[in-house]
Amino acid sequence: MSVAAPFLELKGIGKLFPGVAALKDVSFAVRPGEVIGLIGENGAGKSTLMKILGGVEAPSEGVLVVDGAERSSFGVSDAIRAGIAFVHQELNLFENLDAAANIFVGREPLRAGPLRLVDEKRMRADAAPLLKRLKVDFGPETSVAAMSIAQRQLLEIAKALSQGARVVIMDEPTSSLSIREANNLLGVIADLRSEGVSVVFISHRLHEVVACADRVLGLRDGRVAGELAGSEITYDRMIRLMIGRDLKSIYVPPSRPPEGRGLEIRGARTTTFPDSAVDLNVRGGEILGLAGLVGAGRTELARAVFGIDALVGGEVALDGAPLRIASPQDAIRHGIYLVPEDRKRTGLLLQTSIQENISLPDLAAYARGGLVSRRREAAVAEAQRSRLAIRAGNVRVRSGTLSGGNQQKVVLAKWLSMRPRAIILDEPTRGVDIGAKKEIYELMRGLCDAGVAVLMISSDMEEVIGVSDRIAVMREGTIGGELERADFSEANVLALAVGQSADRGSGPEERARHA
């Protein structure tokens, strides 16, 4: 760990939102060249703390010290000048510009002469070493529209470095990356550290925090719960820091073998991959994990099965009966549900209360004489809120004011309060804390034990291996291979994802499930 003096200090920070004390008496320092893991349950205050550091929110209490000087006001431009940069989950890049133009937007080098034209050549030449430093696989002239999320993140980091960033704040940076891209990002973080740039790494994927952090700050209910350094940074200690107690295995094995034909997807072709077909069977009472690289066509398949998009070929059957699914209403009528990946766009009404969001898909069940029974609605929502520990003042608050992970819990509560025959969960625990993950896995297993076919799309390797009864790996719009538990391993999933064959029979890796 670095022993240099901190260049950034937050002292006694408090932050009040109407009705919520998001932070209470938090002190925190950043030294050059250290990677700090920032952990805590959903709603613990991590994003709020980082927004204060980035000048986006003003603290209600406490002081900010930059290079030894106390700052009474600290806005976004002050933060940029102080060398504080964000790599956002929702990336802030211009799609229609190339990499170089995005790096230098607002600071473009100009050609000599009165016209003040942008010197494109110089801009690209200046961008090249920055991109090289991050070992990216695209050039200064690559258009952002053509880039993957992982490439866009690296471009944001390049932009931050060009602005002289001394600390880069990454909020859940790997949640939309494939395992390979996530490992690459961890390598970039290590390089930044060795160059003296600090990183604050917020993640609910604790194995990544173990892999990259020099120091860990744990928040609980807006307060500092403790710090860990070096060899103290273990999975178990981080859990204790976050939730104040131990949490042994979070995975629940099946209580009985699968039965019935369940959900069958036969020869399914989507508009994204019209020339490849998917054959997949999820039996009643099993959890099939659908792994694959980002862009392999998993979300497209889920959307088509659920009737959001049309299948261009093939069919879907439930317990042997072929179904006609032309819309989500059809799917729901047959008992097939989808918990979507993009909760903000398709999963949750942000202006609407938690309780109305939860009752929405099944309003008929809450009706009394043609009117929705708000009491019944509130009772169901309240039960789900306590089961999933949704952090909110009450179930009537607008869903948009919740922290990201708590919004995800509301989406899940909405679907899990119903009785599906088959359910597709697309990245169900993205951004969700460890305690809620356990609850969600238990709910999934509960559905299974009631005979439901559960298809879980996940890019979280630990989750895929820990939760699934079987794994199918998707690649370029088709199934690259399937794995039984005895052959579960990170290497096998990755091999199938890139078109190689799995190494079967080399011994089970039951690492995650019964750890």
Ligand X SMILES: Nc1ncnc2c1ncn2[C@@H]1O[C@H](COP(=O)(O)OP(=O)(O)OP(=O)(O)O)[C@@H](O)[C@H]1O
Binding site for ligand X (CB under 6 A): 17, 20, 22, 40, 42-48, 391, 401-406
Q: Which two tokens stand for residue 301?
A: 């398949």
- Taking residue 508's Cβ as centre, other Cβ atoms within 10 Å add up to 12
Task: Return the axis-axis angle of helices 434-449 and 404-416, rounded to nearest 10°.
Answer: 10
Amino acid 499 reads G
Residue nearest to ligand X (CB): 405
Nearer to ligand X, 276 or 401 (CB): 401
Distance CA 292, CA 280 (A): 14
Nearer to ligand X, 100 or 339 (CB): 339
Nearer to ligand X, 20 or 186 (CB): 20
Nearer to ligand X, 22 or 66 (CB): 22
Nearer to ligand X, 17 or 94 (CB): 17
Nearest CA-CA partner of 278 in 306, 315, 323: 315
Q: Name the minimum Å distance from CB 514 to ligand X.
A: 27
List CB contacts of 67: < 8 A, sequence separation 6 or more: 7, 82
- Spatial contact of 415 and 367, defined as CB atoms under 8 Å apart: no
Q: Name the minimum Å distance from CB 42 to ligand X.
A: 3
Q: Name the minimum Å distance from CB 208 to ligand X.
A: 14
List CB contacts of 329: < 8 A, sequence separation 6 or more: 307
Exposure b/e, 421-438, CB count within 10 A at least 16 = b: bbbbbbbbbbbbbbbbbb
- Beta pairing class for 84-87 and 167-171: parallel
Nearer to ligand X, 44 or 199 (CB): 44
Distance CA 493, CA 209 (A): 22
CA distances from 444 to 81, 454, 469 (A): 47, 7, 12
407 in helix, strand or coil? Answer: helix
Q: Name the minimum Å distance from CB 302 to ligand X.
A: 24
Q: Name the minimum Å distance from CB 253 to ligand X.
A: 28
Nearer to ligand X, 37 or 480 (CB): 37
Nearer to ligand X, 391 or 475 (CB): 391
DSSP state of 83: T
Q: Name the minimum Å distance from CB 340 to ligand X.
A: 18
